[in-house]
Amino acid sequence: FLFLSTVCFLSSVISLQKNKEGKQIWSLNGTLIDLHGDERRRLSGGNLIITGLDRDQDSGVYQCTASNSQGTILSQRATLQFAYLENFKTQTRSAVNVREGQGVVLLCGTPLHSGELTFTWVFSEYPHFVQQDSRRFVSQETGNLYIAKVEPSDVGNYTCVVNNTITKERVFSSPTPLVLRNDGAMGEYEPKIELHFPDTIPAAKGSTLKLECFALGNPVPKISWRRTSDISFPNKVKLKNSNAILEIPSFQQEDTGTYECIAENSRGKNAARGRLSFHATPHWLQTMTDTSLSIEENLFWECKANGKPKPSYSWLKNGETLISEGRVQIENGALSISSLNLSDCGMYQCVAENKHGIIYSSTELMVLGTTSVFSLPALHPSFECFKCESEDQICLYLTASRPHASPRAISLHVILCDAKKLSITFRISLFPNGTLKIANVTKRDGGSYTCIAKNQFGTASTTGRLIITAKTTKITVGESIVLPCQVTADPALDVAFFWAFNGQPIDFHQDADHFERVGGSFSGDLMIRNIQLNHGGKYICLIDTDVESLSADAILVVKGPPSPPDLVVVEEVTDSTAQLSWSPGQDNGSPITGYVIQARTPFTVGWQAVDTVPEAINGNTLTATVVGLNAWVEYEFRVLASNSVGMGEPSPPSTKIRTEDAMPDTAPTDVGGGGGTKSELVITWEPVPEELQNAEGFGYIIAFRSVGLVTWTRAVISSPSVTRYVFRNDTIPPFSPFNVKVGAFNNRGEGPFSSIATVFSAEEVPSVAPERVSAKSLSAADIEVTWEPTASTPERVLGYEVVYWEDDTKPDTVGKVRITGNYTAVNVSGLQGNTQYYLAVCAFNTAGTGPQSVPVNVTTKKPPPGQPPQNVEWNLIGSQLVLQWDPVIALETESEVTGYIVLYRRHRNNDMYSIITNKTSVELTLNLNDNYVIQIKTLSEGGLGEGSEPIHIHQLSKSVISCCRLLFCLSPALMSS
What's residue 547's pLDDT? 74
What's residue 369's pLDDT? 67
What's residue 140's pLDDT? 95
| Segments of the chain scoring below 50 in pLDDT | 1-20, 371-395, 397, 399-405, 409-411, 416-418, 959-977
What's residue 824's pLDDT? 94
What's residue 496's pLDDT? 85
Count of other CB atoms within 10 angstroms of residue 377 = 12
Helix (H) or strand (E) holding 31: strand 31-32
3-state secondary structure of 20: coil
| Verdict on whether the full-model pTM lies above 0.75 | no
Q: Whose CA is closest to 254, among 282, 283, 231? A: 231
Structural domains of the chain, with CATH: 2-82 (2.60.40.10), 86-187 (2.60.40.10), 196-286 (2.60.40.10), 291-368 (2.60.40.10), 386-469 (2.60.40.10), 471-559 (2.60.40.10), 566-659 (2.60.40.10), 669-760 (2.60.40.10), 771-859 (2.60.40.10), 870-953 (2.60.40.10)
What's residue 229's pLDDT? 67
- 592 contacts 562 by C-beta, under 8 angstroms: yes
- Determine the residue type at 128: H
Sequence-distant (≥ 6) Cβ neighbours of residue 892 within 8 angstroms: none
The Cα–Cα gap between 803 and 823 comes to 16
Dump pLDDT digits (tens) for 730-789: 999 999 999 999 999 998 889 999 999 999 999 999 999 999 999 999 999 999 999 998
What's residue 372's pLDDT? 46
Sequence-distant (≥ 6) Cβ neighbours of residue 540 within 8 angstroms: 499, 500, 551, 552, 553
The Cα–Cα gap between 43 and 66 comes to 13
CA distances from 894 to 35, 776, 833, 897 (A): 120, 19, 9, 9
206 HSE (CA, 13 A, CB side): 13
3-state secondary structure of 239: strand
What's residue 134's pLDDT? 93
What's residue 119's pLDDT? 95
The Cα–Cα gap between 562 and 585 comes to 6
What's residue 761's pLDDT? 95
What does DSSP say about strands 268-286 and 200-204: parallel, antiparallel, or unpaired?
parallel
Sequence-distant (≥ 6) Cβ neighbours of residue 893 within 8 angstroms: 834, 862, 863
Helix ranges (H only) for 278-433 are none
What's residue 408's pLDDT? 53
- 671 contacts 757 by C-beta, under 8 angstroms: yes
What's residue 527's pLDDT? 92
The Cα–Cα gap between 189 and 266 comes to 9
What's residue 522's pLDDT? 64
Q: Whose CA is closest to 727, among 706, 756, 696? A: 706
Helix ranges (H only) for 54-167 are 55-58
From the number of C-beta atoms within 10 Å of its C-beta (0-12, 13-18, 19+), residue 328 rates as middle
Q: Whose CA is closest to 164, among 118, 127, 121? A: 118
Q: Whose CA is closest to 806, among 861, 860, 770? A: 860
What's residue 150's pLDDT? 94
